[in-house]
Amino acid sequence: MRRFSQRHSLVTLSDINITPLLDLAFVLLIIFVITTPLLEKSIDVNLPHGGQSEKKLDKSDIRTVEISNTGYYTLDKRKQPLPQIITQLTQDFNSNPNLVVYIRADKDARYDLVAQLLDGCQKNHLTRYSLRTDPTPK
């Protein structure tokens, strides 16, 4: 009986199978499409109506503090306690004297939440702040 060697039937593959790579790329794309809107979400704030729109400032000179009607504070869309926000704003002001603090408080928020933030700003010499309103009429 004769044995057959399979050496002559071995063929090297010079092509790369890209199907698994495409599957991975599509899965990553779907994950990023789903998670990106969740990262951009901040607290829901209903601003009071009134005021007028003003000239635009440089984005590096603005820090936005939002106060929800349930008492949560956020600094640039990151939920933080008030003392930590005041400390961060003071550090930012020391490195950038043109800093303006935008305060976006919900129209149903307690006034003492806004007053505590304003008091913390004034104690740390942050005198450039703006209480934001919705300039569009009802």
pLDDT greater than 80 at residue 30: yes
The sign of the torsion formed by the CA atoms of 46, 115, 131, 58 equals negative
Helix (H) or strand (E) holding 23: helix 19-40
pLDDT in the model for residue 41: 59
pLDDT value, residue 137: 63
Backbone angles phi, psi at 61, to 5 degrees: -95, 0
What are 43-73's pLDDT values in tens digits? 666 666 665 555 666 777 888 899 888 888 9
Instruction: Check: pTM over 0.75? Answer yes or no.
Output: no
Give the pLDDT of residue 9: 59
Distance CA 64, CA 55 (A): 16
User: Which pLDDT value is given to residue 132?
Assistant: 82
Residue 10 has pLDDT above 70, yes or no: no
- In whole angstroms, what is the distance from residue 9 CA to residue 91 CA? 72
Structural domains in the chain plus CATH codes:
7-40 (no CATH), 59-131 (3.30.420.270)
* Residue 60 DSSP code: G
